[in-house]
Structure 1
Amino acid sequence: MKYIAMFFMLLSHLAQTGFLYSLGEKYFALADIFVLLGRISMPIFCFFTVQAVIYTKDFKKYILRMLVFALLSEIPFDLAIFGAPIYKDSQNVFFTLLMGALAIYGIDYLWKKNLNPILKILAILIIAFIARNLALTFRTDYKHNGIMAIVILYLAKDSKILTALALLLAFHFEFEMGGYAIPVTYGFVYLAIPLIMLYNGQRGKQNKWTFYLFYPVHLLIIYLMKLLFL
């Protein structure tokens, strides 16, 4: 599923970075399709962020990896998307997933504590509110929508039916792709639901570094392609 998500992310970024659109009008329709198909990837990444927080053996190492690659990915992200090595008004999706992971770790910790239920709910709302506003303040990719999606998926983690409903709720919003594509409704995002429903809870054969490396490397390659072809 992670490889599927990476594939659709690649398609989206070929369009979102402006590469396909800049090749000429004959590529516009293909680019729009790639943008739509790319919506499949984010729900999968949010879902597996929840899984990682629940099952990781060392949360500190997991968060450290996320932070390191968020920092390493920022220049490739800015170059590919905005054409500049530093662009302060938008940060890459690793920061979104990192903030979401920290939020649900805090929520999970409090939920397991023997506290008054009302205090628990209040604390959870406060954590979600802080994470949501941090994402807005730092303008991370998907901003507050990504944070709330991760929190909602965490709350629904014990049931596939609730997870499907959480996906319907969490991604019921619209997003305009950087001015390159038509305004896109997230109807295509729901194509991720049957894929996630097929998840059997077992880890497949994979190299854990593949996704971490793929994100900055593919963005850097797209930027180099823009330089070469455009």
Structure 2
Amino acid sequence: MKTIKQSTLKYIAIITMFIDHIGAFILRHEVNAKYPAGMKMGDMPGTGDPLLITYFIIRAIGRLAFPLFCFMLVEGLFHTKSKFKYATRLLIFALISEVPFDLANKHEFWYPKYQNVFFTLFLGMVAIWGLSYAKQEMKKCITGKETSILKFLSPICVAMLVSCSAVLLADEIHTDYGMGGVLCIIIMYLIYDMYIETWTRNKAYCMTMLSGVVVLASFNNFEAFAFLDVALIAFYWGERGKVNKYFFYAFYPAHILVLYFACRYILG
């Protein structure tokens, strides 16, 4: 059976994200201008308006991107040599991306009421890092290296505090996908960690993706289009493939800037 490498998943993620952002950063402004009263996504296909139908299709395709990024973030936690450096990279690119994101999204240099998706990924990373730490410390107690009940309970409390704080902070600062995005990453981590050593890799990957999409769809039913990601993951068996990781980090702010200038050129 033909399999998909992780590098292919990353390319699928950035391509679907790019398509989604054409809708979010260009077509959305046309939709808002034509329908100032607003319109629900679910009502768009039935209008017969080519603009709304195109917008709906583009945004539906884009639903595939975020769960793929979340899945690869979870995998990255298990394979990275330095969780600190991993989290730091996410935060740095969150800061770098914020001005391009605000320009494209709101046509403002700085818009503090909505933050780019790198902040969501960063908070998700911090949350699952805390859970990973708790697991390691609990193992020490179970294996007899640490016998104090305080040593056993402390990491659990720390993990709960960090995870809850990350979820609440995402909601408070209004990151892209918000608390649902961080919860998606947390649930994916827990399912991945639970099944990766007892099931075949492929089944564990599929269950991980399925659980994450269920979380997202529970916050917004339009995210249900991301269930297609489960079919993609069914062909993934853990092979990494050749990839330049910094390309995928840099692509986010770069493509947003390109779309911003394209929007200014098209819409004036």
TM-score (norm 1): 0.88
Check 1:120–1:165 CA distance in 2 against 1; reply closer, same or farther (3 A cut): farther
Aligned to 1:29: 53
Aligned residues of 2:16 and 2:61 also touching (Cα < 8 A) = yes
Compared with structure 1, are the counterparts of its residues 161 and 92 closer, same or farther at alpha carbon in structure 2 (3 Å cutoff)? closer
SS of equivalent residue, structure 1 residue 135: helix
Of the two, which has the highest radius of gyration? 2
Q: What do residues 171-195 of structure 1 show as CA deviations (whole Å, max 9, x unaligned)? A: 22244xxxxxxxx622201111121
What is the CA-CA distance between 1:199 and the residue it aligns to? 1.8
Number of matched pairs: 222
Unaligned runs of 5+ in 1: 176-183
Q: In structure 2, what residue type is equivalent to 1:4?
A: I
State the partner residue of 2:205. 160
- The letter for the 2-side match of 1:225 is A
Task: Report which of the two has the higher share of helix.
Answer: 2
166-175 or 142-151, larger mean C-alpha shift: 166-175
Is residue 12 of structure 1 aligned with residue 20 of structure 2? yes
The separation in 1 between residues aligned to 2:96 and 2:13, in whole angstroms, is 20
Give the 3 Å change call, closer, same or farther, for CA 187–118 of structure 1 in structure 2: same
Give the counterpart of 2:262 among 203, 225, 228: 225
2:79 to 55, 59, 68: 55
Shift of 1:125: 3.1
Structure 2: unaligned runs, 5 residues or longer = 1-8, 35-48, 142-148, 197-203
Q: Match for residue 148 of structure 1? A: 183
Counterpart residue identity of residue 14, structure 1: I
Q: Identify the match of residue 40 of structure 1 among 53, 61, 64.
A: 64
Q: Give the one of 68, 83, 86 matched to 2:110.
A: 86
Percent identity of equivalent pairs: 35
Please, what is the CA RMSD of the aligned residues?
Answer: 2.1
| Change in CA separation of 1:145 and 1:58 when aligned onto 2, cut-off 3 Å | same
The aligned residue for residue 93 of structure 2 is: 69
**TM-score relative to the length of structure 2:** 0.76
Counterpart-to-counterpart distance in 1, 2:215 and 2:233: 14
The separation in 2 between residues aligned to 1:62 and 1:164, in whole angstroms, is: 21
Offset from partner CA, 1:44-64 (integer Å, 9 cap, x none): 000011111111112222222
Query: Residue 121 of structure 2 contacts residue 182 of structure 2 at CA under 8 Å; is this kept in 1?
Result: yes
Instruction: Give the superposition deviation at 1:87.
Output: 0.4
Q: How much has 1:223 moved relative to structure 2? A: 0.5
Q: How far is 1:222 from its partner?
A: 0.6
Moved more, 151-160 or 23-32: 23-32
Q: CA separation in 1, counterparts of 2:26 and 2:173?
A: 23
* Structure 1 residue 98: Cα displacement: 0.6
Is the 8 Å Cα contact of residues 180 and 219 (structure 2) preserved in structure 1? no
Deviations 1:150-203 (A, max 9, x none): 01000011223532441343222244xxxxxxxx62220111112123221121
Partner of 1:202: 239
1:149 partner letter = C
The aligned residue for residue 170 of structure 1 is 215
Structure 2 residue identity aligned to 1:105:
W
What amino acid does structure 2 have at the position aligned with 1:167? G
- How far off its partner does 1:134 sit? 1.0
User: Matched residue of 1:156: which SS?
Assistant: helix
With 22-31 and 114-123 compared, the bigger mean Cα shift is at 114-123
Cα distance change on mapping 1:62 and 1:164 into 2, 3 Å: closer
Between 1:202-211 and 1:32-41, the stretch displaced more is 202-211
Equivalent residue for 2:130, pick from 74, 99, 106? 106
